[in-house]
Structure 1
Amino acid sequence: MTFALTEEQDELAATVRHLLARRSDSGAVRRAVARAPGYDESLWRTLCDQVGVASLAIPERYGGAGFTLVETHVVLEQLGAALTPSPLLGSGVLAAQALLLSGNEEACARLLPGIADGTRVAAVCWAGADGRWRTDRSDVRATGGGTWALSGSATLVLDGMAARTLLVVAGTGPGPVGLFEVDPADGRVRVTPTPAMDTTVSLARVEFDGVPGTPLALDVAGLLGTLHDIAAVAVTALQVGTAQRALDMTVAHSKERVQFGRPIGSFQALKHRMADMLVEVETARSASWAACWAAAQRLPELPERAALAKAWCSEALNKVAAETVQLHGGIAITWEHDAQMVFKRAHATSQLFGQPHEHRQRLFRHVIGAAPR
């Protein structure tokens, strides 16, 4: 099977790329992350109104465009290349897919249209104090029955500071974990920002103190595994885009930087290193697209492909980012240069939804489990 973009997907990528070139250059990105909510709200409205980026993977019956996660993946890769902060990953992917996977028709009909048009930012409160997104337990506890009350805390909540709706993974006593809807405006909810290495990723800690919660699904352990895979695959799109940005920056710099009377890109040793960077970018893109196709089609191999892609793309971006810093020289470690943003994006995203070694362990378990005995 050949994994390549269709003509329409190429046009989508080009449209987003051209818009970001005009509205999300280095200066714009730095201005956006320096103030609340951590992204350019005007640009986000344009992306949603004119391109429909948040609606792509949401069915038409819920106000979406009725495409798939592949189209969202295309947009995320372009956002990654521009280092553009946005709520697409946290709200348009994680929260929207959590609602769809919950099977709660009423909640989907009520919440997804706002997520699709970008007017409602939703955040999933999931990771525990250990920074892990577990499928079998949560640091938030839901008690009650007819009326549920949530207590506890969640960390690393994507776009938690901007959210109008919180989707909370909570334990329900000795039973399984459930998914609950919570209003962040309730006085018993406390949301505090979490400083991140990558300033373009907005994270928060959310604490609950007996907050009323509306149950969306009371046994979500199964769907959380799929949601985790979808989220990990979406992160690889950002990683591939960022790796492409790093490669392009480095090649451009090698043509302009003169040493010993000639551009440094003319030296054979540096050509070899940039060729190795290209291999890292292209292999990462192949792994990412293959995993995205599995996520969009809900193929049985999604867990293996997601694990492979997240491990491979994380390490590929780390290598490309390190080479970017090395080949740019001393300027790369200054605040004014974008190489430091690429380097921070690499290390931050390699932790998001599982570190490379964790995904390699998952892949190993799946491969061993599928092997004939």
Structure 2
Amino acid sequence: MDFGFDDTQQAVARLAGDVLAGQADPESAWKALAQAGLLALAVPERLGGDGLGPVEVAVLLAETGRVAAPLPVLETLALGVLPLARHGTGDQCERLLDGVVAGNRVLTAGTRGEVTVSGDRVSGTLVGVRYAQRAHRVLVPAGEHVYLVDPADATLTATGTSGGEPECTVTVRGVAAERVDGAAADLRRLALAGACALGGGLVAGALALTAGHVRGREQFGRPLATFQAVAQRIADVYVGVRTLHLATWSACWRLGAGRDADADADADADADLDVAAYWLAQEAPPVMEACHHLHGGLGVDAGYPLHRFSSATKDLVRFVGGVEHRLARLADRIAG
């Protein structure tokens, strides 16, 4: 099985890396992504996009993670554009994706919480909804379908995060919401795939930062990288990074190749996603801890860039439900 990128995916990675490397301010970076056409990746061609799929979006998310850029790429593309492009009607896509290409519209989804539906009315509470304050619509899965909630009709309560990116508890009471038929399961798959791709980029970026540090930092007249204990520790980090990478791209490949067209293929995609999400929740935090440790005293400096990676990783692990939840999902799958 070859998870190497094709020419288009390589071009997306190079362009995203170049754009994000030159932008320090999040607003400028978001506009730069739009100007480079990267926010249009999954938007249908008839609406001015490229009509690409989950793998290309995952490539962009991985590059976003490599620089720990606090941008609503996961929310807008993986949680918003992809589910709508794959399941929405032509009219829904035309109305809801207008403005995404130019970077003027943010979308998000509330995948955790208790929701009930009566007719076209949605009630309930959603927790940990990322970028809800900026979103044009919040996609809410309930049963087999997804409902489109206008944040202006909801009560938004800001909640704290490790990385500082905006997040809310969203409460709705009998709010009228448009329905996207049959999109709920796919939205959950795309949310996990996108989170794992972003997390894979975060740990890869932290590894690159740490490897550069131990190569350049000297102790007793020798680079830290030449010490056996340091080499062994960073090798363990590398194994964790590569395993998350492979688990993530296996899942994204299934979603992007259309392998989820029947029940058996859906089960295969879900199994891959459960493995990738568990690996993110279980192994990404120790990877970050090892990177901080290998930086020595510099690793505890809150102003050092490594803290952006570890803080974003903490939020992402919480987004996928935490290690106990992911382990329980795997256990249930193994138990049949």
TM-score under structure 1 length normalisation: 0.81
SS in 1 for 2:251: helix
* 2:160 alignment partner in structure 1: 195
Q: Counterpart in 2 of 1:33?
A: none
Letter in 2 for 1:211: V
Structure 1 distance, partners of 2:53, 2:104, is 20
Look up the match of 1:328.
Answer: 295
Q: Which residue of 2 aligns with 1:59?
A: 44
**1:198-256, CA deviations, whole angstroms, 9 ceiling, x for partnerless residues?**
22x43112222443333344xx5xx4233212211111111111111111111111123
Query: Do the aligned partners of residues 283 and 190 (structure 1) sit closer, same or farther apart at CA in structure 2, a change above 3 Å counting?
Result: same
Matched, 1:243 2:228: no
CA 1:150/1:310 → structure 2, altered by over 3 Å: closer, same or farther? closer
Partner residue of 2:222?
262
- SS of match in other structure, 2:318: coil
Flag the 1:367–1:298 CA change in 2: closer, same or farther, 3 A.
farther
- Within 1, Cα distance between the matches of 2:91 and 2:241? 42
In structure 1, distance between residues paired with 2:18 and 2:85: 31
Q: What is aligned with 1:164?
A: 136
Q: Which runs of 5+ in 1 are unaligned?
A: 29-39, 129-137, 171-175
Question: In 1, distance between residues paired with 2:38 and 2:222?
Answer: 44
- The match for 1:3 is 3
Q: 1:228 to 1:167 in 2, by over 3 A?
A: closer
Change (3 A) 1:216 1:241: closer
- Equivalent residues of 2:133, 2:151 under 8 A apart: no
Find the partner of 1:349 among 307, 313, 316. Answer: 316
| Structure 1 residues 361 and 226: CA distance shift in structure 2, 3 A | farther
Deviation at residue 309 of structure 1 after TM alignment? 1.0
- Partner SS, residue 133 of structure 2: coil
Question: For residues 41 and 293 of structure 1, do their structure 2 counterparts lie closer, same or farther at Cα, with a shift above 3 Å needed?
Answer: same
Offset at 1:354?
A: 2.7
Name which of 58, 61, 65 aligns with 1:73: 58
Equivalent AA in structure 2 for residue 69 of structure 1: P
Write out per-residue CA displacement over residues 138-195 of structure 1, whole angstroms, 9 at most, x where no aligned residue: 33x444x4xx44443322112101012233345xxxxx46533333334xx2223221
Is the aligned partner of 1:282 residue 2:267? no
**Which of 148, 153, 157 does residue 181 from structure 1 map onto?**
148
Q: Offset of 1:364 from its aligned partner?
A: 4.1
Determine if contact 1:192/1:206 at 8 Å carries over to the other structure: yes
Q: Which runs of 5+ in 2 are unaligned?
A: 260-264
1:122 & 1:239 partners in 2: Cα distance?
A: 20
Cα 1:112–1:6, aligned 2, differ >3 Å: closer, same or farther? same
Write the distance in 1 (CA, Å) between the matches of 2:125 and 2:51: 34
2:94 matches 1:115? no
Q: Secondary structure at the match of 1:114?
A: coil
Aligned partner of residue 181 in structure 1, secondary structure: strand
Larger Rg: 1
**4+ runs of 1 displaced by more than 4 Å?**
none
Name the CA distance, whole Å, in 1 between partners of 2:258 and 2:330.
17
Q: Distance in 2 between matches of 1:46 and 1:208?
A: 34
Q: Is the contact made by 1:230 and 1:306 (CA closer than 8 Å) also made in structure 2?
A: no
Query: Cα offset for 1:308?
Result: 0.8
Aligned residue pair count: 329
Shift in Å, 1:326: 0.8
Which residue number corresponds to residue 95 of structure 1? 80
Q: Is the 8 A contact 1:56 1:66 kept in 2?
A: yes
The letter of the residue matching 1:306 is L
Structure 2: how far apart are the matches of 1:252 and 1:10? 24
Instruction: Give 1:55 deviation, angstroms.
Output: 2.2
SS in 2 for 1:66: coil
Compared with structure 1, are the counterparts of its residues 234 and 215 closer, same or farther at alpha carbon in structure 2 (3 Å cutoff)? closer
For residue 21 of structure 1, what is the amino acid of its counterpart? Answer: A
Give 3-state SS (helix, strand or coil) of 1:93's partner: helix
Corresponding residue of 2:262: none
Structure 1 residue 45 and structure 2 residue 10: aligned?
no
Percent identical: 29
